Amino acid sequence: MSRLSLDKYRNIGIAAHIDAGKTTVTERMLFYTGISHKIGEVHEGEAVMDWMEQERKRGITITSAATTCFWRDHQVNIIDTPGHVDFTIEVERSLRVLDGVVAVFSAVDGVQPQSETVWRQANRYNVPRIVFANKMDRTGGDFFKVIKDVNDKLRGNALAMQLPVGEAENFTGIIDLVTRKMATFSGDKGINVEWQEVPAEYAEQVETMRNEIVEAAADFNDDLAEKYLNEEDISDEEIKTALRKGVLELKVALAFCGTAFKNKGVQLLLDAVIDYLPSPLDVPAVEGTLVRAGEIEHIKADPSAEFYGLVFKIMTDPFVGVLNFVRVYSGELKAGSYVFNIRTGSKERVSRIVKMHSNKREEVDCIRAGDIAAVVGIKDAITGDTLCGSKDGALLETISIPTPVISASVEPKNKADYEKMAISLKKMMQEDPSFQFTYDDETGQTVIRGMGELHLEVVVDRLRTEHKVEVVQGKLQVAYKETIQKLADVEGKYVKQSGGRGQYGHVYIKFAPQERGEGFEFENKVTGGSIPREFIAPVQKGIEESLNTGVLGGYPTVDFKATLYDGSYHDVDSSELAFKVAASMAFKNGMRQASPVLLEPIMKVVVETPEDYMGDVMGDLNSRRGRILGMDPQTDKQVITAEVPLGNMFGYATELRSMTKGRATYTMEFECYREVPKSVQDEIVEKK
């Protein structure tokens, strides 16, 4: 890899709502930086960054793709992320390892539901960001509406850095408010940027807006504030330096505009990435926890320090095998060297290192702090693993994995393909931790679970095209869960005598409900040796193994605490197995006594509909047990936000098209799990 100094690195993500133009923006960046010699268009199925067959067929991004380009003597590592909520894990794990984000918004639609989700994810990881209002060439494109939306809906403190010249098809140029110059774009694909004086009719507005920028910059620099108050001259460079500080401190999101499809404004956006987004040296040192000592370690971006890297994505390549995408935080890693996986404690040999350009590979000898690359040879890694130069290294913060909310059974058309299907699903689960599959012993079915209908559709499609396994998919099912509402104090006793050595396990366990989302917790309060220490872990394991089959409908049981406080044992007959069985018996009894209830996934649904159909849409949402949260009237439509149980949303796309003559659209994302009403619960349990 290049030997640029770390201040010349930019690790950025392109993130936004579906169809805001993220991939088109990335394609233009690759073209203008000389990486691509031809622009690949999404609508033609030729985008470089959308390399999967499923992406090209659907015209959407499904998996985050990494690439590297160079601009103004800086190395820019770019990750293009999906916009569809079903693939939110791709955004989550990308933001975990990026230093900055370009948040792309459609200038016509402003802030949309998935852009809110992306913004929240960036907030979670404290990622500085700038705003790009795309599609300024479209009728209704409004740069200032995007800024207002970002400020009102996202509390993003967006600040206009540019002024568009003309609108819709007459959008001809962009005024840079700091330098007071206007840029126009000419030549093949707008490759030439020509700077000229600001047209007279814009002069007054430019001065007003520039004063707002200087005023904002003064908030981030005391010397500049003093100059501003004394009405002294302030240079363009001073303004940029102060604003950069504001971006790095997450106090301002600088806003730029353009149209990637019509090749206007992307070079200026690249300039903004270099001028305002952080290098690895500008972000706080990442924190890790020393496994043995439990102390916090701060890992600075230093190429000469010990090697630390985070595996944030895993991909199976048909030519080189498993690729582990790694963000390097410190030190350097050479091909052929060894690293330790802190989670497993195992030592692994890195046989090769490749720099990725979408799905193409360029082999390199070494990567170092600030780099994003893929390593080959690591056998036992999962998303979120920490790689380190020594086995006593610190464990970096892992990646939050969303819970699947929908499931379906799959079986191969050819019975001989069962093993091949299982291997393929295992590979996909390793690549995408938000996808899971299990084999149901009771029904003999393989059940796949994911984040939505499209997610599972893509999985099945990949089985057919990539893995050559033809499968039959069963009916979609909601991923219900079970929990308890009150305390239960139960005994579990397993005694078996069959001639020789018997089995004896005896436990007393209290089960108590926990707050929603807290999961399962086990506490050992046994005193006086009533249960020997070696049998405590089997008790916990017995409960954990029972969690996946609740007492109501056999759904996973969540959000409760089990406290083991007493029991007894037999010197000869007691065994780990006996205590496991006793614990599972206690679990079943305890759940029945503790008022079990079903939990269902609730989805946040946002419908954009013409005013004429608003009554029909709202009535339909109410009939689906939906709860209307609000309405936002816009120029030519109404935006309705509601919470609806996932179980009542199957087939909604077709229904919505039908009732609005195809003029309404909707997005849906997981919100939370809530208790199912008693009447509905009885119906679900009866069907199960």
Q: How many CB atoms lie within 10 A of CB 588?
A: 15
Surface-to-core class of residue 443, CB atoms within 10 Å of its CB (0-12 exposed, 13-18 middle, 19+ buried): exposed
Chain center to CA of 319: 27
Helix, strand, coil percentages for the chain (3-state, nearest 5) = 30, 35, 35
pLDDT band, residue 46 (cuts 50/70/90): very low
Q: Across the strands, what pairs with 557?
A: 482
Q: Which of 683, 675, 484 is nearest to 589 (CA)?
A: 484
60, amino acid identity: I
User: What pLDDT is attached to residue 43?
Assistant: 42
Residues 68-73: contacts with CB within 8 Å, 24+ apart? 68/35, 68/355, 68/357, 68/372, 69/29, 69/30, 69/33, 69/34, 69/35, 70/2, 70/33, 70/34, 71/32, 71/33, 71/270, 71/271, 71/273, 71/274, 72/270, 72/271, 72/274, 73/4, 73/8
β-strand pairing of 286-290 with 394-396 = antiparallel
Among the listed residues 572, 624, 575, 581, the one whose alpha carbon sits nearest the alpha carbon of residue 603:
624
> Over pLDDT 70: what percentage of the chain?
93
CA distance 138 to 169: 7
Q: Is 559 left (phi over 0), alpha (psi -120 to 50) or beta?
A: left
Nearest to 86 by CA among 402, 363, 387, 358: 402
Mean pLDDT lowest for which of 53-67, 103-117, 429-443, 561-575? 53-67
Query: Residue 59: phi, psi to the nearest 5?
Result: 70, 25
Query: Which pLDDT value is given to residue 120?
Result: 86
Helix axes 418-431, 453-465, angle to 10 degrees: 130
Q: What is the mean pLDDT of residues 128-136?
A: 96
DSSP 461-477: HHHHHTS---EEE---E
Q: Is it the case that residue 665 has pLDDT exceeding 50?
A: yes
Relative to beta strand 352-357, strand 360-364 is antiparallel
The runs of H, that is alpha helices, within 141-279 are: 143-153, 203-218, 222-229, 236-248, 266-276
| HEC secondary structure over 343-396 | CCCCEEECCEEEEEECCEEEEECEEECCCEEEEECCCCCCCCCEEECCCCCEEE
Q: Three-state SS across 59-104? A: CCCCCCEEEEEEECCEEEEEEECCCCHHHHHHHHHHHHHCCEEEEE
pLDDT higher than 80, residue 245: yes
Q: Are strands 560-568 and 520-524 parallel, antiparallel or unpaired?
A: parallel
| Count of H-run helices and E-run strands, the chain | 16, 38
User: Between the CA of residue 490 and those of 162, 531, 544, 575, what are the distances in Å?
Assistant: 68, 16, 17, 21
Query: From the CB of residue 222, how many other CB atoms can be counted at a distance below 10 Å?
Result: 10
The pLDDT, as a whole number, for residue 92 is: 83
What's the predicted TM-score (pTM) here? 0.78
What lies within 8 Å, CB to CB, of 409 at 6+ separation is 440, 443, 445, 446, 447, 448, 473, 474, 475
Bridge partners, residue 605, by sequence: 642, 668
pLDDT band, residue 673 (cuts 50/70/90): very high
Can you give the pLDDT at residue 63?
63
Residue 161 has pLDDT above 90, yes or no: yes
The pLDDT tens digits of the residues spanning 448-499 come to: 999 888 889 889 998 988 889 999 998 888 989 999 999 999 999 999 877 6
Distance CA 201, CA 165 (A): 10
Q: Which residues contact 231 (CB under 8 A, 6 or more apart)?
A: none
Confidence of residue 83 (pLDDT cuts 50, 70, 90): low
Q: Is 223 or 317 the better-scoring residue by pLDDT?
A: 223
Is pLDDT at 40 greater than 80 in this prediction?
no
Which pLDDT does position 41 carry in this prediction? 47
User: Using an 8 Å Cβ cutoff, are 483 and 591 in contact?
Assistant: no
The helix or strand, by DSSP H or E, that contains position 544, with its residue range, turns out to be helix 536-546
d(CA 671, CA 633) in angstroms, rounded, equals 23
